[in-house]
Amino acid sequence: MRRTFFVFLAFLATMAAHAQLQSPDAFLGYPLGSRYTPHHRIVSYFQHAAQQAPAQLRLTSYGVTNEGRPLLLAAISSAENIARLDAIRDNNRNLSRSGTGSGTIANAPVVVWLSYNVHGNEPSSSEAAMKTLYALLSKGDAQTQQWLSNTVVLIDPCLNPDGRDRYVNWFNSVVGKDANALLAAREHREPWPGGRVNHYYFDLNRDWAWQTQKESQQRLAVYQQWMPQVHVDFHEQGINNPYYFAPAAEPYHEVITPWQRRFQETIGRNHARYFDENGWLYFTREVFDLFYPAYGDTYPLYNGAIGMTYEQAGGPGGGLAAITATEDTLKLQDRIAHHFTTGMSTVETASKNATELMKNFQDYFTNAVNGNFSDYKSFVLRARAGDEERMATLRQLLTRNGIVFGTSKGNGKGYNYATGREENFTLAAEDLVVPANQAKGALVRVLFEPNPKLSDSVTYDITAWSLPYVYGLEGYAVRSNITANYKPSTTAVPTEVPVGDPRSVYAYVAPWNGMRAAGFAAQLLQKGFRLRFAQRAFTVGGKNFERGSLILLRNGQDETAWGGILQTAAAAGVNLAPVSSGFVERGLDFGSSSVRPLAAPRVALIAGEGTNYNAVGEVWHYFEQELDYPVTLVNSTDFGRTDWSQFNVLVLADGDYRFLNEKTSTDVLRNWISKGGKLIALQGALSQLAALDWGLKARKSEDGGDPRNNYGLLRRYEDRERNEIPNFTPGSIYRVELDNSHPLAFGYPGTYYTLRQDDRSYDFLADGGWNVGVVKKERPLAGFVGNRLQPRLQDAMILGVQEMGNGEIVMFADDVLFRAFWENGKLLFANALFLVGQ
């Protein structure tokens, strides 16, 4: 009786609190779907709802974007659940074995996380988020309130506010008094770079596992605290496509459990019921697979949830209204209605299956800690000399993902990632051991397994990402458990601060073995320090130093700045070795011509029309967030109007550059290089240079077959997509043989692991060219490569330098900065920037 009384009081409190809650239409002053809502007004609506319905809604800001916009998370449930929300969250973490206890599923609500607008120019979902919030808080809907009695709904209304506002502000500035549904209208032609991406032009839906971006890092920290049972990522696609919802297409990764597969089907059938009632078209099991680990559907799946993507027709081409290929008019109101329907249907299905969801969630992590997700039971990363920084960066990634790791000693045997063979190894105290029998066991397998199995080679993204290759580390996959010390470990690189007065030394030497050394050099050059670097290995003061080592002579430096050099190095995480003489025991003395001055580069990066915005963003992010070094972004259309004497380094990221097809412009570029400029060209830009007869030759695709056999022309239409597979690689890893006597490869052992993403291939350079990195007869170490393409990717130049007059072209056939998580390639770009051509 007392419980009934208190529930009645809670109901009255909820009714009173909701009295002033306005609908989105009333609050905004216009009907949802009649115009796009700027991000700050979405924030205002969620804040209004939190003020008017505090008994059922808790709103928090979990961070800010690069441009200062807030990132929000709203928790909606019954008043009783909101009152104990912290306990529910902690219990959920314990169920996932990420907390301090084991958790209980008795009376535990299911947690459903709805993520909206990760791609800023797929804007209908944030509008739907407001409608969904209002519906969940609607006091008059008894059915919805019943769902919330055993369900906590988490709403992130906009994962990418910077991208959304870039699109919305542009659209609202060009749309007329009335929307124009004709696709020829300018409101359907979004300018470069578009709103899909964040401030640095990164696709946040490719960053869940890697967390290279500020938004991802802040969001995933909160996600790890909640560990929901269901996660939905709302998207938009081309205007002519019907709605897409689960179940997904093959390939599925093998760690996805039968239960996770079945429940996708359960949710999909519930969506279909509503769509059938309304006569709406939809499709399932096509296009959107579940393999690459950094999506908003796969990452939750690999963390025990039911992860799903929902795709509505629209996107940047949708505007407020668009005429489709069937001559229907797709309106924003329709797009909102579809996303609203699947969102509410997801909550309904989760609520009705809450007991089963919670039981299978608990079982998932029981299986994980028992090591049932992987045949490999341990993964070993060995710390060679010079690997300390990359090991620390890897530890940081594992920590962000909640992955347990430790150290051990002794002997073992496992699959050597470098050779592809079972080999013996000896563990040292600095080596890293990652067990598969842990709460994150499924994610551990996905991130570490040498070569994940593809059930279908038609896939949406790269097919290889194993972390030993990404980080360029010696690794072993072991089929037995390794006893190790799994206490929390620091991610910092130990820094030895030399004692003594800097004014009493002859010089300091810093090893060139990672991005911290590159960042240290960048800071010193900006402060006016004079630097030198060694082109050959040497020994001085009983210490050995490899090629590329930085040398800071005391003579010629500003005395005040020199007095703080040790603090600058410590802040950068760089070890400085004091040297009392330039007379070396081995190698060449500091006055040798092989010890070269390191001048400060003046860098331009071409951006804008014709460039790949993701690739430009990778370089821009690299300079600002990793090197902290200035770079000037120049519009591609301004190439002919730019005074290039202001710069001595020009970066061409992947793209299709119009000026490279114009003789006048290419003559200007060649003249600038010949006078001492350095051109760094990547991927598609390199392909265009190959057409200029500047010493680089691209290989042509093979012909379709024997012209005498016309049967080769006979193909089935339904196989049109698969007919391209033999000449295709969505992303595969190759071992590259390095000439590490060349400055482009300083700081590396004799090998580098590259990610091949296309069919472009280049002959070895001749006539003054340096083939710094080549693939010989190697087959891919991991990932899918079509059988016809494989031979063409062999015996090819991957990294090269072509001298041209007093300048040079640095050539990267592949993306060494891929999505900012390809750690193994970052020092290559620093070498190209600072060391090549000095």
The whole-number average pLDDT for the span 301-314 is: 98
Question: What value does the mean pLDDT of the chain take?
Answer: 93
Q: In whole angstroms, how far apart are CA 674 and each of 219, 328, 417, 668, 670?
A: 48, 57, 42, 10, 6
For 302-306, 490-494, 634-638, 666-670, which range has the lowest pLDDT when averaged over its residues? Answer: 490-494
pLDDT over 90 at 803, yes or no? yes
| Residue 142 CA to its chain's centroid (Å) | 42
Instruction: Write down the pLDDT at residue 738.
Output: 98
pLDDT over 60 at 709, yes or no? no
Of 809, 485, 487, 512, whose CA–CA distance to 677 is shortest? 809
Instruction: Write down the pLDDT at residue 10.
Output: 47
pLDDT over 70 at 15, yes or no? no
Instruction: Write down the pLDDT at residue 502.
Output: 83
pLDDT over 80 at 498, yes or no? no
Total Cβ atoms within 10 A of residue 166: 23
Confidence of residue 475 (pLDDT cuts 50, 70, 90): very high
Dump pLDDT digits (tens) for 507-546: 999 999 999 999 999 999 999 999 999 999 999 999 999 9
User: Three-state DSSP class for 245?
Assistant: coil
- Alpha-helical (H) ranges within 374-532 are 388-400, 441-448, 467-471, 515-526
Cα separation, 809 vs 445, whole angstroms: 40
Q: In whole angstroms, how far apart are CA 232 and each of 31, 245, 260, 274, 390?
A: 25, 10, 14, 18, 33
pLDDT over 60 at 705, yes or no? no
The whole-number average pLDDT for the span 397-416 is: 96
Q: Which residues pair with 407 in a beta bridge?
A: 485
Of 114, 75, 62, 153, whose CA–CA distance to 234 is shortest? 114
Instruction: Write down the pLDDT at residue 767.
Output: 82
Q: What are the residues whose beta carbons fall under 8 Å from the beta carbon of 751, sequence distance 6 or more?
A: 418, 735, 736, 737, 738
CB 157 within 8 A of CB 288: no
The whole-number average pLDDT for the span 53-81 is: 98
**β-pairing, 678-682 with 807-812?**
parallel
For 557-566, 654-663, 723-732, 820-829, which range has the lowest pLDDT when averaged over its residues? Answer: 723-732
pLDDT above 70 covers what percent of the chain?
A: 93
The whole-number average pLDDT for the span 230-251 is: 97
Q: Which residues pair with 434 in a beta bridge?
A: 379
E strands of 109-219, at which residues? 110-115, 151-156
Instruction: Write down the pLDDT at residue 460.
Output: 76
Phi, psi of 742 (to 5 degrees): -90, 140
Six-digit token string for 598 = 């390191």
Rounded to a whole number of angstroms, the distance between the first and last alpha carbons of the chain is 85
Dump pLDDT digits (tens) for 636-675: 999 999 999 999 999 999 999 999 999 999 999 999 999 9
The whole-number average pLDDT for the span 72-80 is: 98
Instruction: Write down the pLDDT at residue 4.
Output: 47
Q: In whole angstroms, how far apart are CA 680 and each of 744, 831, 833?
A: 11, 11, 8
Cα separation, 284 vs 287, whole angstroms: 9
pLDDT over 90 at 487, yes or no? no
Cα separation, 521 vs 365, whole angstroms: 46
Residue positions counted in the chain = 838
Instruction: Write down the pLDDT at residue 98.
Output: 82
Instruction: Write down the pLDDT at residue 501.
Output: 79
Of 598, 589, 653, whose CA–CA distance to 620 is shortest? 653
Confidence of residue 8 (pLDDT cuts 50, 70, 90): very low
Residue 405's identity, in one-letter code, is F
Instruction: Write down the pLDDT at residue 495.
Output: 60
Confidence of residue 722 (pLDDT cuts 50, 70, 90): low
Instruction: Write down the pLDDT at residue 685.
Output: 98
pLDDT over 50 at 284, yes or no? yes
What interhelical angle do 565-572 and 515-526 show, nearest 10?
Answer: 140
Instruction: Write down the pLDDT at residue 713.
Output: 53
Q: In whole angstroms, how far apart are CA 308 and each of 246, 292, 300, 530, 695?
A: 6, 13, 9, 54, 48
Q: Considering just the CA atoms, what is the radius of gyration of the chain in Å? A: 29
Phi, psi of 829 (to 5 degrees): -65, -40
Instruction: Write down the pLDDT at residue 100.
Output: 76
| Residue 290 CA to its chain's centroid (Å) | 16
Dump pLDDT digits (tens) for 205-222: 999 999 999 999 999 999
Instruction: Write down the pLDDT at residue 9.
Output: 46
For 319-333, 382-396, 609-623, which range has the lowest pLDDT when averaged over its residues? Answer: 382-396
Instruction: Write down the pLDDT at residue 718.
Output: 58
pLDDT over 70 at 720, yes or no? no
